[in-house]
Amino acid sequence: MTAVKSEVDNTQVRLPYERLLMVLAPVIAVGTVAAGAVLVAGLMGFHREEMFAIAAGIGAALGIPTVVLIYRQLADRRYTARALRNAEARVGGIVESAMDAIITVDESQRIVQFNAAAEKAFRWPRGAVLGQPLDMLIPQRFRGSHAQQVRRFGETSTTSRSMGAQTILHGLRADGVEFPIEASISQHTESGSKLFTVILRDVTERVRSEEMLARSEARLRGILDSAMDAIITVDERQHIVLFNKAAEEVFGCAREEAVGAPLNWFIPERFRAGHNDLVRRFGESGAASRRMGHARVVTGLRRNGEEFPIEASISTVAESGQHFYTVILRDVTQRVRADEALRRSREEIRELALAASTAREQEKSRVARELHDELGQALTALKIDLGWLREHVSAGDGAIREKLASMQVLVDGTVASTRRISADLRPLVLDDLGLVAGADWLAQSFTNRTGVPCELVIGQGDLELPDPHATTIFRVLQESLTNIAKHSNATQVEVVLERENGEVVLSVHDNGRGFAPDAPTRAGAMGLLGLRERAALMSGQVAIDSTPGRGTRVELRLPAPPARETA
Ligand SMILES: Nc1ncnc2c1ncn2[C@@H]1O[C@H](COP(=O)(O)OP(=O)(O)O)[C@@H](O)[C@H]1O
Ligand SMILES: [Mg+2]
C-alpha cells in the first residue's frame, strides 16, 4: 500500500475515540457546571426548586450550542472521511493504471500490492502473488543480495532511491524467463510496520536496442580499423573525435592521444590557416563530400615532425545540429616517389630515343651523301670513260661496241639506283636546301610516282626549321604521303605547313577512302604509331582525323623551336 493510503487508515483508526470524547466532553462539562451550580446554591441555602431551575437554565444555555457544535463536528468528519475515501480510490486507480509495474512488500518481503502493469510484466495474476514472498519475482542467483539490499535500505532514512544504478537488474517471469528491469524503491511506515514499494519497468527493448547499437558500433569500429586508408572525423571546432588504426600508423600517433586533439596537429604550420578556411568553406558549400586538393598533393604532418604527401577526400554529416567532417586520406609518399621515378625514366627514354633517332638520321644522311658524292661521282666518271671508249674503239669491232653499249645502260641504271637509294635514305635537298624545299621535293615525287596532284601550301613566317624539327616534319609528311599512295585511292592531296600560336603545324589532307582510326590496325603497322612517337619525342602531337569514305587528315603540331640566330 502506498503512503497516501496509510494516512487515510490512520485517521480512520483514530476517529471512534475522538468521536466518543467529542460527544461526552460537552455533556461532562454541562454536568460539571450544573453540579457546581447546585453545590454553590446548596451552600448558599437555596431551596430545591430554585436549585433545579438554575441547573436547568445553565444546562440549557450550555447544552444547545454544544449540540450544534457536535453536529457540525460530525458533519465535518463525514466530509473528511468521504474525501479520504475518494483520494484512496483515486490513488488506487493511478496505481492500477500506471504504465510501470508497482509492487509493495511488507517487512517480511511478502507482496501486498501488485498492479496491472506488474501482472503484465511478470505474467503472474495478482491472486497468485499477493501474500507470497517477493523472491518468486527474482532470479534465484539474485535473491540473497536483493533481500539484503532491501533490508539495508530499510535501515536508512532515505525515503526513495533508484535501484541498481551500476548494473541492470533482472526480473523473473512466471514462465521462468528473465528480463532486464530498471527500478526505484521507496519506503514508508504504516501502522508501525514498514512497507517497501518498488516501481519498475521492463527494459528488454531498450537493452536490446542498446546492445544492437553497441554491436553495430563495434562492427563500424572493425570496418574503420580494417580500412587501408586513414579515417579522421573532426567536430565543428576541428577537434578529432574519431581516429582509426590506419590513421595511427600514418601519423605515428596513438588513438588515445589523437582523440580530442586539434586536427592542426597533423597539418604543417604553413598550411593550417588555409586548411581551416577550406573546411569552413566546404561546410558552407552544402556539398556532402568532395576530393581535397585535386590539382596538388596535400601535405600531412606526422607526430615526429616529418611531412608527407597525402591524397584526401572530405565529407560532412550533421548530427543533432552539429557538423562533423570526415577526412579519408592516404599516404602517397610511395606513389609520388614512383610517379617521379616514372616521369624521370620516361624523360630519359625520350632523350635516348631522340638521340637514337638523331643518330640514325645523321647516319642515313652520311650514307646518302657518300652514295651520292663518292659512288655517284665514280659512276659518272665511269660513264664518261665508257663514252670515251665508245668513240675510240674501231668501228668494225661490233662485239666490243655492243658490250660497251650494254655497260653504258648498266652504269646509267646504277647511277639512277644510287640516286634513288640515296634519296630514300635521306634526300640531300633537306640538308642542303631546308624543310620547305624538302617538302616540295616530297610533294613532287609523290605526284611523279602516283599521278595524283598534291598542292603544297607554305604559310607565313619562318618555316626553315632547324633539326630535329625539320627532320620530324619531313618524316611525318613522307609517311603520310606514302600512306595516301598505298591506302587511300585519293584524287587530290593538300599539304599545309604553317606557324600557328607558337606552334608549327603540318596538315596532310586527302580525299580518299578514309578509315576508322580507332579500329584495331594491322599487326606490324608501325607507320601511324611511328608518327605519334616522333611527335611525342618533340613534345608535340599528331591528330588523325578520318572517316571511312570521306578522306583523311593527319595533323602534326610541334612547339616551335627557339628562333634561329640569323648570322
Ligand atoms: N590516308 C589514308 N587513307 C586510308 N587509309 C589509311 C590512310 N592512312 C592510313 N590508313 C590505314 O591505316 C592503317 C595503318 O597505317 P600505318 O600505320 O601507316 O601502317 P601501314 O601503312 O604499314 O599499313 C593502314 O593499313 C590503312 O588501312
Ligand atoms: Mg604506313
Place 1 in a pLDDT band, splitting at 50, 70 and 90.
Answer: very low
Q: Which three cell numbers stand for residue 562?
A: 627557339
Q: What pLDDT, on the 0 to 100 scale, is given for residue 565? A: 53
The residue whose CA has the least distance to atom 24 of ligand 1 is 487
Q: How far apart are CA 444 and CA 433, in angstroms?
A: 15
For residue 375, CA distances in Å to 64, 364, 378, 553 come to 168, 15, 5, 39
pLDDT per position as a tens digit, 471-484: 999 999 999 999 99
* 112 and 192 both lie in a single domain: yes
Q: Which three cell numbers stand for residue 417?
A: 639506283
Q: How far apart are CA 427 and CA 442, in angstroms?
A: 9
Q: Which ligand is nearest to the CA of 554?
A: 1
Write the CB contacts of 480 (distance below 8 Å, at least 6 apart in sequence).
Answer: 508, 531, 554
CATH number at residue 119: 3.30.450.20
Contact at 8 Å (CB) between 38 and 51?
Answer: yes
Give the 3-state DSSP-derived string for 489-531, with helices as H, strands as E and coil as C. Answer: CCCCEEEEEEEECCEEEEEEEECCCCCCCCCCCCCCCCHHHHH
Q: How far apart are CA 281 and CA 261, in angstroms?
A: 22
Q: What pLDDT, on the 0 to 100 scale, is given for residue 447? A: 94
DSSP 8-class letter at 159: -
DSSP 8-class letter at 12: H
What range defines the domain where residue 471 resides? 433-559
Query: Cα angle vertex 439, ends 421, 539, to 5°?
Result: 100
Q: What pLDDT, on the 0 to 100 scale, is given for residue 142? A: 87
* 243 and 327 both lie in a single domain: yes
Q: What pLDDT, on the 0 to 100 scale, is given for residue 5? A: 41
How much is the average pLDDT of 294-306?
A: 82
Among 446, 480, 483, name the best residue to mutate to test ligand 1's pocket (greatest count of ligand atoms within 8 A of Cβ).
483
Q: Which three cell numbers stand for residue 351?
A: 632523350
Write the CB contacts of 549 (distance below 8 Å, at least 6 apart in sequence).
Answer: 513, 514
What total of structural domains would you count in the chain? 5
Of ligand 1's listed atoms, the one at least distance from the Cα of 530 is 17
Give the end of a domain, one of 421, 453, 477: 421
CATH number at residue 520: 3.30.565.10
For residue 206, CA distances in Å to 92, 98, 168, 182 come to 29, 19, 11, 10
Q: At 438, which amino acid appears?
A: G
Ligand 1 contact, 515 CB (< 6 A): yes
How much is the average pLDDT of 67-93?
A: 85
Q: What is the mean pLDDT of the chain?
A: 85
Place 9 in a pLDDT band, splitting at 50, 70 and 90.
Answer: very low
Task: Tell me, in angstroms, the distance from the centre of ligand 2 to residue 555's CA.
Answer: 15
Q: How far apart are CA 432 and CA 339, in angstroms?
A: 43
First vs last C-alpha separation in the chain: 121
Ligand 1 contact, 2 CB (< 6 A): no
pLDDT per position as a tens digit, 408-456: 999 999 999 998 898 888 888 888 889 999 999 999 999 999 999 999 9
Task: Tell me, in angstroms, the distance from the centre of ligand 2 to residue 518's CA.
Answer: 16
Task: Look at residue 189 and tell me if it is in a domain.
Answer: yes
* 554 and 438 both lie in a single domain: yes
How much is the average pLDDT of 394-415?
A: 87
- The DSSP bridge partners found for residue 164 are none
Residue with cell 530498471: 182
Ligand 1 contact, 487 CB (< 6 A): yes
Ligand 1 contact, 528 CB (< 6 A): yes
- In the predicted structure, residue 294 carries a pLDDT above the cut 80: no
Q: Which three cell numbers stand for residue 225?
A: 580499423
* 287 and 326 both lie in a single domain: yes
Q: What pLDDT, on the 0 to 100 scale, is given for residue 306? A: 93
Range with top average pLDDT, 184-198, 248-262, 398-412, 457-471: 248-262
- Give the environment of ion ligand 2: residues with CB less than 5 A: 483, 527
Strands 454-458 and 230-234: unpaired
* 84 and 130 both lie in a single domain: no
Count Cβ neighbours within 10 Å for each residue of 176-196 and write b for 16 or more, e otherwise: eeebbbbbebbbbebeeeebb
DSSP 8-class letter at 157: -
* Number of C-beta neighbours around residue 283 at 10 A: 15
Give the end of a domain, one of 63, 79, 95: 95
Q: What pLDDT, on the 0 to 100 scale, is given for residue 12? A: 44
pLDDT per position as a tens digit, 481-538: 999 999 989 999 999 999 988 899 999 999 999 988 887 766 667 788 888 888 988 8
What percentage of the chain exceeds 70 in pLDDT? 91
Q: What pLDDT, on the 0 to 100 scale, is given for residue 214? A: 92
Ligand 1 contact, 552 CB (< 6 A): yes
Ligand 1 contact, 521 CB (< 6 A): yes
pLDDT per position as a tens digit, 244-266: 999 999 999 999 999 999 999 99
* 284 and 304 both lie in a single domain: yes
Write the CB contacts of 76 (distance below 8 Å, at least 6 apart in sequence).
Answer: none
Give the end of a domain, one of 331, 358, 380: 331
- The DSSP bridge partners found for residue 188 are 195
How much is the average pLDDT of 145-163?
A: 81
Q: Which ligand is nearest to the CA of 481?
A: 1
Of ligand 1's listed atoms, the one at least distance from the Cα of 512 is 3
Q: Which ligand is nearest to the CA of 512?
A: 1
Total residue length of the chain: 567
The residue whose CA has the least distance to atom 20 of ligand 1 is 525
- In the predicted structure, residue 164 carries a pLDDT above the cut 80: no
* 284 and 309 both lie in a single domain: yes
**H or E stretch covering 293:** none
* 86 and 174 both lie in a single domain: no
Of ligand 1's listed atoms, the one at least distance from the Cα of 528 is 17
Q: Which of 323, 327, 235, 318 is nearest to 289 (CA)?
A: 327
What percentage of the chain exceeds 90 in pLDDT? 35
Orientation angle between helical segments 527-537 and 469-483, nearest 10 degrees: 160
Task: Look at residue 213 and tell me if it is in a domain.
Answer: no
**H or E stretch covering 544:** strand 541-546
- In the predicted structure, residue 344 carries a pLDDT above the cut 90: yes
Q: What pLDDT, on the 0 to 100 scale, is given for residue 38? A: 73
* 531 and 464 both lie in a single domain: yes
Task: Look at residue 282 and tell me if it is in a domain.
Answer: yes
Q: Which three cell numbers stand for residue 566?
A: 640569323
- In the predicted structure, residue 166 carries a pLDDT above the cut 60: no
* 78 and 56 both lie in a single domain: yes
* 239 and 197 both lie in a single domain: no
Of ligand 1's listed atoms, the one at least distance from the Cα of 479 is 18
Q: Cα 559 vs. chain centroid, distance in angstroms?
A: 43
Ligand 1 contact, 513 CB (< 6 A): yes
Q: Which of 535, 425, 541, 554 is nearest to 483 (CA)?
A: 554
Q: What pLDDT, on the 0 to 100 scale, is given for residue 493? A: 95
Task: Look at residue 566 and tell me if it is in a domain.
Answer: no
Q: How far apart are CA 505 and CA 347, in angstroms?
A: 24
Q: Which of 318, 338, 314, 307 is nearest to 229 (CA)?
A: 314
Task: Tell me, in angstroms, the distance from the centre of ligand 1 to residue 233's CA.
Answer: 57
Task: Look at residue 165 and tell me if it is in a domain.
Answer: yes
Of ligand 1's listed atoms, the one at least distance from the Cα of 552 is 1
Task: Look at residue 153 and tell me if it is in a domain.
Answer: yes
* Number of C-beta neighbours around residue 441 at 10 A: 17
* 447 and 491 both lie in a single domain: yes
For the chain, how are helix, strand and coil distributed in percent, rounded to 5? 55, 20, 25
Task: Look at residue 220 and tell me if it is in a domain.
Answer: no
DSSP 8-class letter at 262: B
Torsion of CA 220, 222, 224, 226, to 10 degrees: -150
Long-range contacts of 391-394 (CB under 8 A, 24+ apart): none
Task: Look at residue 527 and tell me if it is in a domain.
Answer: yes
Task: Tell me, in angstroms, the distance from the centre of ligand 2 to residue 138's CA.
Answer: 95
Ligand 1 contact, 550 CB (< 6 A): no
Q: What pLDDT, on the 0 to 100 scale, is given for residue 451? A: 93
Of ligand 1's listed atoms, the one at least distance from the Cα of 554 is 1
